[in-house]
Structure formats: C-alpha cells, structure tokens
A and B are shown apart, each in its own frame.
Chain A
Amino acid sequence: MRARVSITRFVIPLVAFALIAVVFAVGIKHSPEVGTIVSPLVGKPAPEWELPLLDDVTRRIGSKDFRGQWYVLNVWGTWCFACRQEHNALLELQRTSAVPIVGIDWRDDDAQAREWLARLGNPYAHVAVDHDGHAAIEWGVYGAPETFLVNPAGIVVHKQIGPMTAEVWRRDFASRLPPPRRASS
C-alpha cells in the first residue's frame, strides 16, 4: 500500500518531469539561434535570377550563366557593417578557393559600391546589382550578409547567415565541395 502511494506521489511526476525535460532539451539543441530563419531553399533548386552587372549595367548575369558549375552567392551592401567584417575573409577565399564568388550588391548605391570594391579589394568574380530587392526576396534574404553555396545542378547546398569566416568556410562550405582538384576542372 505504501509502495502504491509513492508511485503516484513521486514516480509518476518524476517520469513526467523527465519526459518534459527531454522534449525541451531536444528542442533547445535543435532550434536555430533566436531570430534565425532556416532557409527552406537548402536542398532545393536555386531561384532563377538575372540582374545587371555593377561594372556595366547594360549587361546582365544570372543563374543560367552558372549551370554546371559550383558557385558561391554572397549578398552584401556598403551599408552593411557585417559585410565589412567578412570582406577580408572573402578576399582570402578568392585567393585560395577555386569556386567563384558571385556578389549581389543589395539595395545599394552603385557608385558607393564601386568605390568600396576599389578601396578594399574585389573578392568577386562578378557583382550583380539588386536595387529594388526583388532578387533578394527570391533568395529568401532578410539581412546582409548572407552566403549561399550552389552546386552544378543548380541546387542550393548550404546557406550561411551572417559574416563568412575561415572557420565557417572550412566547416560548412569546403566540406560540401568536391576535393579541390575536381572543383577546378
């Protein structure tokens, strides 16, 4: 009889507590940082895009120019503080990695963007301009910088929210790329 009382009084609440604790622990462990929107584009085809080039706005560049090759798409702007932070990491990548970095200059002033690249160095293979933010919405961008990795089949393989660093590149981008020798072919 005493055993039954202790089961209802202690064991059942303890088991309930343990269950709730496990659910919360799993939830906290797997949830992204507060405010981060996990992109539903990862694992899906990249949106079709076509934008004017910063160097020559009469020419356009877009997804079809990158069919069959890996590319990194970096959304930035001169108004974006964290973009200044990641700039050196991007320059370093341009030197060490074979994958082209395509920049989308988001909601920016063209002259300021050209001045920024002339002053700080240009890590991009191409820079496209998105004045009205339509392409950014197609990519599900909600803050700069954001960086996407797209494979030769045109599938978004990874998205980085926030500044690129050497460590982020090694952990999340390089690990998803084929070995360097094949990436350069």
Chain B
Amino acid sequence: MSAWLRSILPAGCLLALLTLATTPTRAVDPAQLPDPQLQARYIKLIHEFRCVECQNESLADSEVDIAGELRREIRDMLLAGKTDAQIRDFLVSRYSEFILYRPRYSARNAWLWLLPLCLLALGGFIAARIVRARSGLVASDQEPVEDAFGGLAPKAEDSSSRADAGTSR
C-alpha cells in the first residue's frame, strides 16, 4: 500500500502544481458571458492578444487597467454579434499586428516563414554533396584492393580518375 502511495505521489504533486499554475488566469478575469459558446470564444480570444502595456502577458493574464478595458471591449464586440475575425481586425487596426501573439502570414513577413525552409534545403544540399564526395573517396580507396585481388595492372583511365579523386580531397 505504502509502495503504491509512493509511486502515485509524484504524479499527484505534479497534478496539484499544474492545477495551481492554471488557476490565476481565472482570478484575473471573473467576467462571465451569458452564452457558454460566447464565453468559450471569449476565453480563446483573450489568450490570443498581447497586453499592450505589459507586453509579455496576454490579455487573459494581465491585471493592468488597459487589459481590463480591452477585455471589456472584446466582450462588447462579442455581445454585439461580431465574428472573431472582425474582433481581430479591429484590434489590429488600432494597435497593429504587434497585439497578436501569432503573427499573420503576409508578403512582408513571408521570408521569416520561408527562410528556415530555404536554409533546410541548403543544408540538405550541402550534406548530400559531402556524403557523395565521401562515398566517392571510399570507392576510390577500395579500387586498388579490387585491383590487387584481380591481380590486374591498373588501366590508364582508372589511374587518371583515381588521381582526380585524390586531388579533390
């Protein structure tokens, strides 16, 4: 029994910690919308936006006045029947894309998204070339062994290709 308890204790502690870690979000914003669906959209939205004053917190986490006012603004827009996209557009039109935690894909920042892919492709290309060059070296190292087993004198073109392989080392 005590062994079982000991085995379950760390998981229990972790669970308790996780529960504690998630509770403050609710404490900051007790607002409750009448419709559970609206409430769910509201909770999702306030996690998407950056607090404009304390910029490392989301609107959901921040206790400063302006965050509370922005949350109220979002609630009013939800109650007025605005879509999530309209609410995002409004806030971006006032506070720029900086307010979005997840930046939008656009022509201006496309290179940010595409650069890693390009670098990956470049790295792959370089790696492939290195591998090919090395496998070429191994083949040329083995050639003389085969020659020795075959007991044949190296042909003229063989020796020239081996010489090339040597220089590219």
Q: How far is the CA of A40 from the CA of B70 in the complex (A)?
A: 17
A41's partner among B72, B94, B99 (CB-CB below 8 A) is: B94
A51 to B70, CA, bound (A): 19
Bitwise interface map of B from 65 to 99 toward A, beta carbon under 8 Å scored 1, else 0: 11001101100000000000000000011111011
Residues of chain B within 8 A of A39, CB atoms compared = 96
Q: Is the CB of A133 within 8 A of B53?
A: no
Which A residues lie within 8 Å of B73 (CB)? 134, 137
Q: Is the CB of A142 within 8 A of B93?
A: no
A132 to B65, CA, bound (A): 10
| Closest chain B residue to A47, Cβ basis | B94
| Interface positions of A from 110 to 149, Cβ below 8 Å from B | 132-134, 136-140, 142-143
Indicate if A168 sits at the interface (CB-CB under 8 A).
Answer: no
Q: CB within 8 A of B69: which of A1, A133, A140?
A: A133
CA distance in complex: A170, B109 (Å):
34
Query: Which of B65, B72, B95 has a CB less than 8 Å from the CB of A37?
Result: B95
Cα of A134 to Cα of B66 in the assembled complex, Å: 10
Which residues of chain A are near B55, meaning CB under 8 Å? 35
Interface string of B8-50 (1 = CB under 8 A from A): 0000000000000000000000000000000000000000000
When C-beta atoms are compared, the residue in chain B nearest to A35 turns out to be: B55
Residue of B nearest to A34 (CB): B55
Closest to B69 in A: A133
Query: Chain A residues with Cβ under 8 A from B53's Cβ?
Result: 142-143
Closest A-chain residue to B55, C-beta based? A35
With a CB–CB cut-off of 8 A, which chain B residues contact A38? 96, 98
**Residue of B at shortest CB range from A134?**
B73
A158 CB-CB contact with B under 8 Å: no
Given that A35-B55, A37-B52 are contacting pairs, would A139 and B94 also be in contact in the complex, using a CB cutoff of 8 Å? yes
A residues contacting the other copy or chain, number (CB 8 A): 19
Contact (Cβ within 8 A) A1 B167: yes
Closest to A4 in B: B168
Partner pick for A40 among B72, B94, B167, CB 8 A cutoff: B94
Q: In angstroms, how far is the closest chain A Cβ from the Cβ of B80?
A: 13
A107 to chain B: which residues have CB within 8 Å?
A: 65
Residue of A with least CB distance to B72: A132
**Contact (A40, B69) CB under 8 Å given A35-B55, A142-B52, A142-B53:** no
- Min CB distance B36 to A, Å, is 26
B121 vs chain A, min Cβ distance (A): 16
Contact with B along A43-72 (1 / 0, CB 8 A): 000010000000000000000000000000
Per the bound structure, the CA–CA distance linking A139 and B94 in Å amounts to: 6
- Whole-angstrom CA separation of A140 from B73 in the bound complex: 12
Specify the chain A residue showing the minimal Cβ separation from B70.
A137
How does the 8 Å CB contact mask read for B132-169 relative to A, with 1 for contact and 0 for none?
A: 00000000000000000000000000000000000100
Interface residues of A, Cβ cutoff 8 Å to B = 1, 35, 37-41, 47, 107, 132-134, 136-140, 142-143
7 tightest A-B contacts by CB? A142-B52, A140-B94, A133-B69, A40-B96, A37-B98, A140-B95, A137-B73
A-B CB contact pairs (8 Å), 5 listed: A38-B96, A38-B98, A133-B66, A137-B94, A143-B53
B positions within 8 Å CB-CB of A: 52-53, 55, 65-66, 69-70, 72-73, 92-96, 98-99, 167
